[in-house]
Amino acid sequence: MKRKLRSVVPLLVCLSLLMIALSACGRSARQTETVLPAEQAVSEATQPAEQAAPEAAPPAEQAASEAAPPDDPEDLQAALAAEVADDRPGVLATLGRPDAFDISIVAVEGGQVRMESWRYYQFGSRVDFVDGEAVWTMEIEPVPDGTLFAAWYDPMDFEAGMSGAEASRVIAAASPAGAAPERIDLTEGGEDLAGGSALVGDQILIGLYEDRVVYVETVALVPGEDSDRLRRSTRAEFLLAEDRGEEARPILEELVAGSEDDVLAGLGVYQRRQLYAEAVAAARRAIARLPESAAVRFALAASLERTAAFDEAVAEFRTLLAKEPDSAAALNYLGYMFAERGINLEEARAMVTRAVELDPTSGAYQDSLGWVYFRLGDLDRAEKHLTEAVRLEPDDATVLEHLGDLHQARGEGKKASDAFRRSLAAGPEEAGQRERVEKKLAAVEGNEAAR
């Protein structure tokens, strides 16, 4: 399986946030007294920061007292059962989508509580909700001019009980790049993170526990070299999506003429918009300036493969591997290319085996190795690696399609049908993939019906 280049929030920040989020699953907290009418919450939120009432934030002792759950279990049950007004639509209608927000689904005896904070930096205010009811406003510090907000996400799109696959689709639909988030398995992170995983997308982090959303946070990027690069590449991607290529071109040309990170940001835009011929041309210009850049050469080779320039892509990957023989991404990509064509399969097996050794937690690499074994006719080993790939990438349409192919080859119609259905539900992204999987599903179900 080829691994896509995705723009993600820095991993260390995301994991630290997720650890906080998952630890919240064991806490019980609900504010039951300091409830503001929706009109008051909006009114206070829209005050200029210097006019916001200083008494909005009580002393820490008072806040802790008000946030504590009732001591009597019957009072707690009554609080959980009480109907509350959903003030969020009114806040959205008045203020628009928040500049940034976070949501925690907190386990409380007998149920769950949804706690969220919406931040409006232009008003210098934050509005907090418990189960949709506006309960708090407070001042927040302004952010520097030029800060990039992820206002394309709507907090109300993320529902309690939502699965990882559903959250991935919401992110992909809202993201400017239209890319699905990266899933990170945290089961190896210790007992405290057992059952945990994360989805990391464009300025958003989703914390999952047993594949259910427990935490959501969007991230505001303050001005700096990285955020400026992201701002420019995001702007170019928006322009391309709106068929305004003439306006996007100078932005992308400037990126491709810059540093290695600038180049990769520009090439990433071309690749996500599936403008692979343009990506090849830009990568060739960049590699002439940066001949030692493995990342740029990788992008060139991958873009060549996407333009069906197979031999040229192989040559670029071999050049890269001659200098960096342990580049797991290059070993995987080239090995998968061979497997797809059914050529050089023993070389492909050695390459992808090495990639898996370098990173056994990569679902993409496990899928590639399973696919190589499938092409070699070793279905037992294929099943081992494809099953592991599905565990690591449960929402990847290509991984699930490969698992369906395996079951179909073994005459396991029911299992094949299930895998193909899951592949379609995951949202195939490759050109023609949905139609291909639909045909496979129809053939399997037709054979099953004929028995």
DSSP 9-59: --HHHHHHHHHHHHHGGG------S-PPPHHHHHHHHTS-GGGS-GGGS--
Residue 56: band (very low, low, confident or very high) from pLDDT cuts 50, 70, 90: very low
Number of domains in the chain: 2
**Inter-axis angle of helices 397-409 and 363-376, to 10 degrees?**
30
What percentage of the chain has pLDDT greater than the value 70?
Answer: 78
Average pLDDT over residues 166-184: 86
Domain span including residue 195: 11-218
Q: Residue 106: what pLDDT?
A: 84
Has residue 111 been placed in a domain? yes
pLDDT band for position 31 (cuts 50, 70, 90): very low
**Boundary residue ending a domain (283, 300, 324):** 324
* Same domain (yes/no): 29, 69: yes
Asked if 252 and 185 sit in the same domain, the reply is no
Q: 150 with 120, same domain?
A: yes
pLDDT at 43 > cutoff 70: no
Q: What is the pLDDT of residue 386?
A: 98
| Residue scoring higher pLDDT (394 or 225) | 394
Mean pLDDT for 295-321 is 97
Question: Among 43-57, 232-246, 325-339, 429-443, where is mean pLDDT lowest?
Answer: 43-57
CA separation for the pair 288, 312 (Å, rounded): 16
pLDDT at 190 over 50: no
Lowest mean pLDDT among 75-84, 113-122, 168-177, 212-221: 75-84
Is residue 408 situated within a structural domain? no
One domain for residues 158 and 290: no
Of the two residues 225 and 115, the one the predictor is more confident about is: 115
CATH of the domain at 299: 1.25.40
In a shared domain, residues 164 and 301: no
Among the candidates 218, 233, 267, a domain finishes at 218
Q: Is residue 85 in some structural domain?
A: yes
Tell me if 426 is assigned to some domain: no
Task: Give me the phi and psi of 216, to 5 degrees please.
Answer: -135, 135
pLDDT confidence band for 146 (50 / 70 / 90): confident
Distances (CA, A) of 27 to 47, 73, 212, 357, 444: 33, 15, 17, 39, 47
* Residue 446: band (very low, low, confident or very high) from pLDDT cuts 50, 70, 90: confident
Q: Give domain status of residue 209, yes or no.
A: yes
pLDDT classification of 411: cutoffs 50, 70, 90: very high
